[in-house]
């Protein structure tokens, strides 16, 4: 393995170390003609210099204004005791973690209960009273100077349930304060208590603040999944804003227990009625003040982090942290998986009509125009620009509507983090090779019909670590094309074409440059690998230009071109085509399923 690749690979390896910031990716291969030699050299030198600095332990260029350096982040995830525990943890979906902690993949072995002994409260120093709430407790400082809010319930299982809820919420993409069990001795009703890491510089949640509410809503499905009826708090005090994100600080009302104590019984069932009741002011006024106006389509789009959580991860977390006997924990795992399935069914029914009505027509296109596996430049192949022409559609399909121009990039990032951590070394190497030094060689081998080992590994990495993008989602790609190539593309309405190379796209229409804008509407079954903020440990980015919000699609991605429109820099209602006088046309295309 080249030495320059090692720092990146250690980012996703158990026990690895990160020095400085993560290596990253720049804009690539947007031209229909090969870049100049000078441009290629310039493109290669940027990543090379960044990797050399990383290898030598030097700091790279500072973060963009308004974004803190990863080393300045305050943990709302794992503790040092948890980091040393034998059982592995699930990848951190939000990128918020303790400095130096690198999340390792979940073990495929049978999960076992957590045997780590809780710290003794008697070794900590009390520094103040507990602010608010009904549970007994106080503020403490541990031996390392870290402040903790300690609560006691007089019920060990209730304490374990709250700690488990924090782990499940974090795994499902809902940032939650770091919680751990602590041995209370004879304090605060004795037995096991819950210690919550104190977050400095946190803001109070303001239900009138649009940004606060938007951040909370991103975690709605996770809270509904865990029946966390009190996710907001009666006075909106169960959540704070920490570094721009809604962070949940008291999940004691999740799972089997009520916030005030006592079990929920049959109210915590296999069906997730909370998807409705937590939005109904007659049932839950405090919760409805935040979630009430969410549409079913909006909820369905935000469910991916919960739906993509592997059953093995759920079982592992419940077995490790859950209350009760082994049989109790197995039953709780089964119920959570059942509730996860119910959410999937609910979301499928809630998708826009097009997701249901157009599925069969898209499947027909997929079947009629299979992926071409020969040499893209062969004498029997007809090309449109750099695309391979697969044929012409005689009956245009109905396209997904409405177009989804909002992206749950945090879920995309969480999926990348979890997926990349599980990849074999060769596939992780391929991601970095494409992102920095090898994209031209990789794409050249694919366009020649002779994919290199790295190209094959990258293809596998995108399929294995990528997430399925919601149908109707809009992705952007700009290309520079001229002469006969441009003429071919502008006259390709009704054609199905195939991109032999890896296709780089963005969630933001204003990214990249070119004179033709590909407006890509995602169909069913399309997978992509997100490389922007949060895709690497510590909330960082695999990409060197995380603002590009890049999603890469697999080689041989197929597009149905349904129309071409002219633009002179004005742009359309979704922001496509607005790139000044340089931009001349928008090519509207539907992305067919990944194969």
pLDDT at 13: 53
Cut 0.75: pTM above it? no
Question: Is 90 exceeded by the pLDDT of residue 321?
Answer: yes
Residue 569 CB contacts under 8 Å (≥ 6 apart), including other chains: 577, 578, 579, 580, 581, 582, 583
| Sequence-ordered list of residues with C-beta below 8 angstroms from that of 363, at least 6 positions apart, any chain | 524, 593
The answer to which of 26-30, 89-93, 301-305 has the lowest mean pLDDT is 89-93
CA–CA distances in Å: residue 464 to residues 91, 252, 349, 397, 592: 15, 35, 27, 29, 18
∠ CA 154-190-265, rounded to 5°: 15
How many residues are recorded in the chain?
595
| Whether the predicted pLDDT of 33 surpasses 70 | no
Per-residue pLDDT band at 12 (split at 50, 70, 90): low
Tokens (6 digits) for 567: 């633009």
What is the distance between the alpha carbons of residues 163 and 195, in angstroms, rounded to a whole number?
9
- Helices then strands, each counted (H, E), the chain: 19, 22
Residue 380: the pLDDT is 66
Q: Which residue has the higher pLDDT, 9 or 586?
A: 586
Which domains, from first to last, does the chain contain? Answer: 204-350 (no CATH), 362-591 (3.90.176.10)
Name the band, by pLDDT with cuts 50, 70 and 90, for residue 383. Answer: confident
Render pLDDT for 98-143 as a digit per residue (tens, 0 to 9).
222 222 233 333 344 454 689 999 999 999 888 876 788 899 999 9
Rounded to the nearest integer, the mean pLDDT of the chain is 78
pLDDT at 67: 31
**Residue-wise pLDDT tens digits, 258-282:** 888 889 998 998 889 999 999 998 8
Q: What percent of the chain has pLDDT over 90?
A: 42
pLDDT of 349 higher than 90: no
Nearest to 347 by CA among 305, 381, 291: 305
- pLDDT-derived band of residue 525, with 50, 70 and 90 as boundaries? confident
Confidence band, pLDDT 50/70/90 cuts, at residue 82: very low
Lowest-pLDDT range of 58-62, 300-304, 388-392, 505-509: 58-62
User: Does residue 530 register a pLDDT over 90?
Assistant: yes
Average pLDDT score over residue span 497-507: 94
Q: How many CB atoms lie within 10 A of CB 349?
A: 11
The residue-averaged pLDDT of 337-344 equals 91
DSSP state letter for 546: G
């Amino acid at each position: 393995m080249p030495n320059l690749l090692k720092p990146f690979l250690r980012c996703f390896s158990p026990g690895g170390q990160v020095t400085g910031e993560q290596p990253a990716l720049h804009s690539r291969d947007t031209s229909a003609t090969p870049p100049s030699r000078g441009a290629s050299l310039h493109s290669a030198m940027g990543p090379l210099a960044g990797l050399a600095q990383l290898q030598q332990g030097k700091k790279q260029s500072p973060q963009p204004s308004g974004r803190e350096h990863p080393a300045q982040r305050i943990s709302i995830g794992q503790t040092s005791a948890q980091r040393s525990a034998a059982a592995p943890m699930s990848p951190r979906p939000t990128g918020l973690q303790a400095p130096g902690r690198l999340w390792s993949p979940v073990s495929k072995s049978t999960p076992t209960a957590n045997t780590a002994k809780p710290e003794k409260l008697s070794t900590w120093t009390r520094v103040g009273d507990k602010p608010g709430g009904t549970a007994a407790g106080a503020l403490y400082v541990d031996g390392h100077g870290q402040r903790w809010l300690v609560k006691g319930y007089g019920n060990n299982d209730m304490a374990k349930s709250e700690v488990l809820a924090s782990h499940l919420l974090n795994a499902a993409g809902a940032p939650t304060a770091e919680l751990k069990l602590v041995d209370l001795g004879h304090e605060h009703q004795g037995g096991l208590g819950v210690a919550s890491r104190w977050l400095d510089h946190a803001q109070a949640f303001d239900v009138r603040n649009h940004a606060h509410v938007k951040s909370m809503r991103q975690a709605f499905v996770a809270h509904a999944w865990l029946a966390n009826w009190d996710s907001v708090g009666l006075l909106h005090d169960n959540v704070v804003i920490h570094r721009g994100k809604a962070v949940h600080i008291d999940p004691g009302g999740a799972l089997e227990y009520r916030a005030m104590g006592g079990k929920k019984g049959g109210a915590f069932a296999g069906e997730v009625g909370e998807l409705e009741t937590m939005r109904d002011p007659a049932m839950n006024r405090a919760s409805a003040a935040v979630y009430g106006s969410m549409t079913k389509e909006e909820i369905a789009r935000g469910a991916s982090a919960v739906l993509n959580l592997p059953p093995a991860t759920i079982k592992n977390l419940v077995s490790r942290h859950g209350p009760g006997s082994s049989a109790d924990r197995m039953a709780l795992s089964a119920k959570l998986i059942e509730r996860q399935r119910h959410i999937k069914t609910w979301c499928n029914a809630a998708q826009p009509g097009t997701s249901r009505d157009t599925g069969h027509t898209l499947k027909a296109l997929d079947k009629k125009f299979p992926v071409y596996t020969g040499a893209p430049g062969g004498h029997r192949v007809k090309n449109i620009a750099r695309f391979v022409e697969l044929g012409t559609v005689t009956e245009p399909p109905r396209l997904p509507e409405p177009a989804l121009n909002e992206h749950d990039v945090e879920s995309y990032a969480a999926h990348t983090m979890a997926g990349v951590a599980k990849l074999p070394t060769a596939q992780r190497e391929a991601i970095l090779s494409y992102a920095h030094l090898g994209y031209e060689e990789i794409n050249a081998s694919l366009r020649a019909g002779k994919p290199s080992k790295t190209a094959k590994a990258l293809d596998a990495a995108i399929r294995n670590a990528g997430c399925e993008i919601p149908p109707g989602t809009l992705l952007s790609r700009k290309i520079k094309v001229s002469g006969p190539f441009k003429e071919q593309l502008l006259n390709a309405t009704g054609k199905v074409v195939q991109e032999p190379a890896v296709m780089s796209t963005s969630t933001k229409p204003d990214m990249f440059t070119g004179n033709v804008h590909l407006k890509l509407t995602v169909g069913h079954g399309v997978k992509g690998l997100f490389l922007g903020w949060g895709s690497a440990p510590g909330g960082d980015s695999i990409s060197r230009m995380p603002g590009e919000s890049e999603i890469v699609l697999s080689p041989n991605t197929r597009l149905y071109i349904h129309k071409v429109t002219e633009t002179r820099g004005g742009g359309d209602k979704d922001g496509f085509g607005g790139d000044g006088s340089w931009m001349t046309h928008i090519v509207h295309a539907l992305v067919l399923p990944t194969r």
